[in-house]
A and B are shown apart, each in its own frame.
Chain A
Amino acid sequence: MKVIIAGSYQTRFGELWERSLLSLLMEAGQGAMKDAGVQASEIDLVVVGNKLGGRISEQDHLGALMADKLRVKGRGIRVEAACASGGIAVHQAVQAIKTGEAETVLVLGGEKMTDKNNGVVGAALMGAASEEERRTGLSFVGLYALMARAYMEKFGARRRDLAKVAVKNHKQASLNPKAQFPREITEEMALKAIMVAEPLGLFDCSPISDGAAGLVVRGVKTKKAGKREVEILASEIATDSLGLNERESLLEIKATKEAAGRAYVSAGVGPEEIDIMEVHDCFTIAEILALEDLGFCKKGEGFKGIDKPVNLSGGLKACGHPVGATGVKQMVELTHHLRREAGERQADKADMGLAHNVGGTGGTAVVHILKGSI
């Protein structure tokens, strides 16, 4: 049996002050079911990926809520793994299908972040960090700044190399109507922008965002590939220590390497066969580390970039990062390309795609490999 993506949908990402978490998840769920051409009565399970519902929207019980509101036949659960909540939700859906618990699963990822001020949101996000990091007063931008500093010192990368990642992702977001920042920036703008945590400036950081994404994932027995069908070849997760202080190295995210290694084995492909990827660029340094840890280049060379399309959606950086939605949105984006439905930003070659979603600074990593049927 293979597991396929039958439908996908992403809401607009941004400061959506007129929208609630529920309304965003509803739009994503209804959109994904419509795209798949399935009725709510055909859904066996709803898996919702969300991190901050309890802290921001005073609603934790999202699994039952969405199953009820969408009037699905089956049941609902919510999963949480920090910023990898969306990726974990997809993984749970794949597991449920593989074990025979469900045949058709609606995966939702969503986050409503702009209803509270930055202090509250920042403190809530630190729920993904270790006790020691919280006590030290670090924030996520501070933690990634430590990784960036270590990387720059070791490999001679400069702030300009980080800026190139932001410039690329903003340019790609300019073609994405769902992106929070569909505007191009220049390297000079990025370098002159206000410093957030040395060496990470404003344009090195992904934003606080609202948004949701949905996928209909199905188990199918026929080997024949259906029209617009995207197969999930691999769905792997790995976990590591929450705190950077317990890591062997600041120069890599071990969980990414582990999840990717297993995913390549599981899919029976290597990085050279991947055409497009959506990687977790919560900060510019994170994209550079991801390219290396996913095996697209050697360690210490990620800052030079690679010659494959990376984050055509604009990434977390410019498409936006509603944390629970991100892992699902990455797969929605890949699905568009693998179906040749990505419009202006369609990748020229798009047979195989990889989605890489990280929780915290690498406490969780999720890697999915997708294959198109066109």
Chain B
Amino acid sequence: MIKEKKFTKVGIIGFGGYVPSYRIRVKEIAKARQKNGEQIVEGLGVKQKAVAGRDEDAVSLAVEAAWRALKRSQCKPQDVGAVLVGSESHPYAVKPTGTIVAEILGIGKEYFCADLEFACKAGTTGVVMIGAMIEAGLIECGIAIGADVAQSRPGDALEYTAGTGAAAVILGSKKFKWWARLERVSSFNSDTADFWRRAGEDFPEHGGRFTGEPGYFEHVIEGTRRFLGKRKMKIFDQVVLHMPNGKFPRRAAKRLGVEERQLETGFLVEEIGNPYSASAMLGLVRVLEEARKGERLLVTSYGSGAGSDSLELVLMRKLTNSYKGKGVDLESQLANTEQISYTNYLIMRGLV
């Protein structure tokens, strides 16, 4: 049982997102599959997805995001006391992504490190763990990263949405200047086999429509409801729900009483698809880049298998232009894109 606790000593001191510039349109994939692209775009609520370059993997994505987060923080790499990387596409089954990332970032050797895997929610789980370590006084700051080159079997429905991206959040004690205060966290989990990838397999499998009601909706909606308790949804200015496609979060939002204006800032899925562990994390980063001082944020991630994490934050100061930086902020990354063909997509992903 998770205890209700209000954090007082933890804030976000740096954050950054990275989305590769390559995009493939859903219509381009549909054309290759001889499907009606317009209907699929409408059905999924996704126009295009981000694709990793052929030299990119979860490690390089994580590093790109972490660099951007460090640029916006006062902490130096050697201050970092923990590196947790959540991903479904860790390059190694055994050997951590986290140590490679930490080495590249120059963090030194005295830090806690682990790779996390919980389908699409491992990134937010890292935020919770590092937040708790700081609250407990064990470390002064730590980096939680969600990074994925999302896998999908060619021809599977996931092919239209499985995207690429990474987001890093640096949490710190009062020693550092906070962008946002982390107030509450919670999690809601069950053994639900909606989506999985067995050891040794290259691509995930899923239970089709079973991923919806008993998977995503049960955990996102019930998890969020329990997290809120008696508090009302209207106290939040910004809401991010995990975005496996464009339809699910909108439907969950409606059932939770979340209005479009609360959801729109962090709603990236239409343009980048679902970068698995980075989905809700990138939504959070986008909100932190855009939100105003005093705004209250709610994030509920979702990981198949299944569970959701909920986070509540309050923005302490608005991101100024000097911290945005060209190529650092998500807005410029989302604007600077290059469309690729389905053939190029297959080549870049090593599928042919």
Contacts and interface: CB of A to CB of B under 8 A. Distances in A.
Q: A and B from one assembly?
A: yes
B205 interface: yes
A194 B36 contact: yes
Nearest to B206: A117
A183 to B, nearest CB: 16
A17 B210 contact: yes
A117 B36 contact: no
Given A117-B207, A118-B208, A17 B39 contact: no
B209 interface: yes
A15 interface: yes
B43 interface: yes
Interface in A1-23: 15, 17
A195 B36 contact: yes
B137 interface: no
A117 B209 CA distance: 9
B325 interface: no
B210 A114 contact: yes
Contacts of A195: 36
A60 to B, nearest CB: 23
A332 B35 CA distance: 39
A104 to B, nearest CB: 39
Contacts of A118: 208
Interface string A18-45: 0000000000000000000000000000
* Size bracket, chain B contacts: 10 to 19
Interface string A79-98: 00000000000000000000
Contacts of B213: 15, 17
Contacts of A117: 205-208
Contacts of B208: 117-118
B43 A194 contact: yes
A117 B210 CA distance: 9
B91 interface: no
Interface string A176-220: 000000000000000001110000000000000000000000000
Interface in B199-214: 205-210, 213-214
Interface in B201-235: 205-210, 213-214
B214 A17 contact: yes
From B36, B206, B208, name the one whose CB has the most chain A CB atoms within 10 angstroms: B208
Interface string A106-133: 0000000010011000000000000000
B43 A15 contact: no
Contacts of B205: 117
B206 A194 contact: no
A17 B190 CA distance: 15
A15 B36 contact: no
Interface in A266-314: none
B286 to A, nearest CB: 31
A194 B44 CA distance: 13
Nearest to B40: A194
Contacts of B210: 15, 17, 114
Contacts of B43: 194
Interface string B29-56: 0000001100110010000000000000
Contacts of A17: 210, 213-214
A194 B36 CA distance: 7
Nearest to B212: A15
Contacts of B39: 193-194
A114 B209 CA distance: 9
Interface in B176-210: 205-210
Contacts of B36: 194-195
B128 to A, nearest CB: 29
A193 B40 CA distance: 11
A81 B213 CA distance: 33
Interface in B128-174: none
B80 to A, nearest CB: 43
B317 to A, nearest CB: 46
From B35, B43, B207, name the one whose CB has the most chain A CB atoms within 10 angstroms: B207
Interface in A55-82: none
A266 to B, nearest CB: 42
Nearest to A17: B214
A118 B40 CA distance: 18
A157 B351 CA distance: 44
A56 to B, nearest CB: 13
A195 B214 CA distance: 27
B321 to A, nearest CB: 45
A22 to B, nearest CB: 19
A158 B205 CA distance: 38
B107 to A, nearest CB: 43
B39 to A, nearest CB: 5
Nearest to B192: A17
A114 B40 CA distance: 23
A17 B214 CA distance: 8
Contacts of A114: 209-210
A128 to B, nearest CB: 21
A15 B210 CA distance: 9
Nearest to B194: A17
B79 to A, nearest CB: 48
A361 B198 CA distance: 37
B124 to A, nearest CB: 26
A289 to B, nearest CB: 27
B21 to A, nearest CB: 31
20 contacts: A15-B209, A15-B210, A15-B213, A17-B210, A17-B213, A17-B214, A114-B209, A114-B210, A117-B205, A117-B206, A117-B207, A117-B208, A118-B208, A193-B39, A194-B35, A194-B36, A194-B39, A194-B40, A194-B43, A195-B36
Given A117-B206, A194-B40, 8 more contacts: A15-B209, A17-B214, A114-B209, A114-B210, A117-B207, A194-B35, A194-B36, A195-B36
Interface of B: 35-36, 39-40, 43, 205-210, 213-214
Closest 7 CB pairs of A and B: A194-B39, A117-B208, A17-B214, A118-B208, A17-B210, A117-B207, A194-B36
